[in-house]
Amino acid sequence: MTRSWHTMVRSPFTRWAIIMPLLMCIVVTIFGVLAFRETQRALINEFQTALREEVLNLELLYREEGFTALKKSIDRRAHQDETQRVYLLTNARGEYIAGNLKIWPRNVPIRDDAEATFIDPTTGEKVAAEVILLYGDNQLLVGRRAIHEQVARHLIQNYLWLCALMLFSATAAGLLFSRAIQKRLAAIHHTANTIRLGHQQSRIALAGSNDEIDGVIVELNALLDQQEKLLTYARQSSSAIAHDLRQPLSLLRGKLLEIGTEPQQDVLVKQEALAQLDQILAMFSAILRLGRLESGAQALQLETIDLKVLAEDVVELYQPLIEDAGHTLTLSGEHCIIAIDRELIFAALCNLIENANRYGQSQIDVLISPQAITVRDYGQGVAQSDLDRLSEPFFKAESSRNSAGHGLGLALVKAIAELHGGHLILRNAEPGFMATLQLAS
C-alpha cells in the first residue's frame, strides 16, 4: 500500500504517534531540568561545606600538631583510593613536599584564603581549591574534584539517552499500534470495496481479539447480512412479481384477442377480461399495501377495543360464505380489551379465515386468547419445509400452487402483526394448520 506523506500526516494515528513521544519528551525535560537544578544546588552546597571543613581540619591539625603531622596527614589522605580530594604541600619556592598534585597550578594565586578553580592536568577534571599559607611560607593547596560537574555531565548524558530511547520506543509503539489499527481499517475498507464490486457475500474479517473494533466489525457484518437479506428479498420479490404477473397478463391478452372473434360472446369475454384485470389490480394493491406496512409508512390508528367483538364481526361476515362451502366456523375464547388498529387486525383476520376456508376441510376454529387470535383448520396442513417460508411474499406451498391466491396474504398478516409489536406464528396442528396472530403483550 503506497500512501503519500500527506495522507500519512493527515492520519490521526500518525499524528498521535508523533505527538505522543514529543509530549513525553517535554514532560521528561521539565522534570529533568527541575531535578537537575535541585541536585546541582545540593551537590554544590555539600561540596563547599566539605571543602571548608577539610581546610579547617588541616589548619587545626597544623596549629596543634605542627608541620610534620600535617605532612603525614596529607600523605595519608592524598593516597587514599578513589579520593576526590586534591592536596599539594610545597615549600616557599613551590617545590613539592607532599600531596597528590605534582605542580602548583598556574592560575591559582599564592595568597592566603585564595579560592580558585583549575583543571587537573593529569585527569583533566575540574578542581575547586583553597590556598593556605603556612608559616615559613610553605604553601598548602586543598581542593576537591568538582564531582557535581561530572554528575551534571552524566545526568545530561543519561537524559539524552532517555529521550532518545523514549522517542524511539514511543514512536515505534505508536507506529505499530497505528499500523495495527490501519490494518484492521484496511480490512473494512477492502471488504467495502469488494462488496461495491458486487461480491455481496463478502464480510469483514475479525481479528479475534474481542475488542471494541471487533465489536464494531460484528455490528457492521450484521448490518451487511441484513442488507443482503433485504436486497435478496427485493430481488426475489421483484422477480416474483414479474413471474406472477406474466401469467394473468398473458391470460388477459388471450381474452383481448378473443374479442371480435365471436361477437355474440363479446360481452362475456369483456367481463372475463375485466375480472382478470381486477385480479391483477388487486395484486398490485396488495403489493403496495405490503410495502406501506413494511416500510412503516402507514401509521397505526390505535383504538382500545374488545378483540372478541372484532372477531365476532369477522366470523359474522364470513359465516354465510363458509357455510356455503359446506364448512363450519366457530368462535371461542375470552374477552380481551386491547389497543389495536381495528381495520388492520380485521383485514388480517379475514385473510387467515380465507386461507383456512381455501385449504382446510369441514371446520374452522377461531380462538381468542389473551393478546392473541388463533385460526385453525383441519385440512392437510403444510409441508414442514415450507412452514418457515409461508409468510414470505409470493411464496406458495406446493399444495396451494394452483390456487387463486396471490401469495401475499400471510406476508400482509405478518407485517400487520409486527407493526403491532407482535408476530405471526404458523404451525401444523396435526391434523390441520394453525395460524396465531400474537399481538403485543
Interaction site with other proteins (CB under 8 A): 271, 274, 278, 281-282, 284-285, 288-289, 291-292, 297-299, 301, 313, 316-318, 320-321, 324, 342-343, 346-347, 350, 354
Closest to other proteins by CB, 191 or 351: 351
Closest to other proteins by CB, 329 or 336: 329
CA angle, 421 then 427 then 431, to 5°:
145
Supply the minimum distance, in Å, between the C-beta of residue 331 and other proteins.
15
Supply the minimum distance, in Å, between the C-beta of residue 405 and other proteins.
8
- What end-to-end distance do the CA atoms of the chain give, in Å? 55
Cβ partners under 8 Å of residue 318, min gap 6: 329, 350, 353, 354, 357
Supply the minimum distance, in Å, between the C-beta of residue 247 and other proteins.
17
Helix/strand/coil percent split, the chain, to 5? 60, 15, 25
The conformation of residue 93, written as its DSSP 8-state character, comes to T
Cell of 139: 604553601
Supply the minimum distance, in Å, between the C-beta of residue 400 and other proteins.
14
Closest to other proteins by CB, 278 or 334: 278
Closest to other proteins by CB, 214 or 313: 313
**Helical (H) or strand (E) element with 152:** helix 147-196
Supply the minimum distance, in Å, between the C-beta of residue 288 and other proteins.
5
Closest to other proteins by CB, 110 or 248: 248
Supply the minimum distance, in Å, between the C-beta of residue 360 and other proteins.
14
Closest to other proteins by CB, 182 or 391: 391
How far is 91 from 140, CA to CA, in rounded Å?
9
Closest to other proteins by CB, 59 or 405: 405
Long-range CB contacts for residues 1-7, cutoff 8 Å, separation at least 24: 1/186
- A 10 A CB-CB count for 70 gives 24
Cell of 192: 467495502
Cell of 364: 374452522
Q: Strands 363-369 and 423-428: what pairing? A: unpaired
Closest to other proteins by CB, 132 or 340: 340
User: Phi and psi (nearest 5°) for 123?
Assistant: -105, -20
Supply the minimum distance, in Å, between the C-beta of residue 387 and other proteins.
23
User: Phi and psi (nearest 5°) for 94?
Assistant: 90, 15
Cell of 56: 579547617
Supply the minimum distance, in Å, between the C-beta of residue 267 and other proteins.
9
How far is 84 from 73, CA to CA, in rounded Å?
16
Supply the minimum distance, in Å, between the C-beta of residue 416 and other proteins.
12
How far is 269 from 258, CA to CA, in rounded Å?
7
Q: Which amino acid is at 309?
A: V
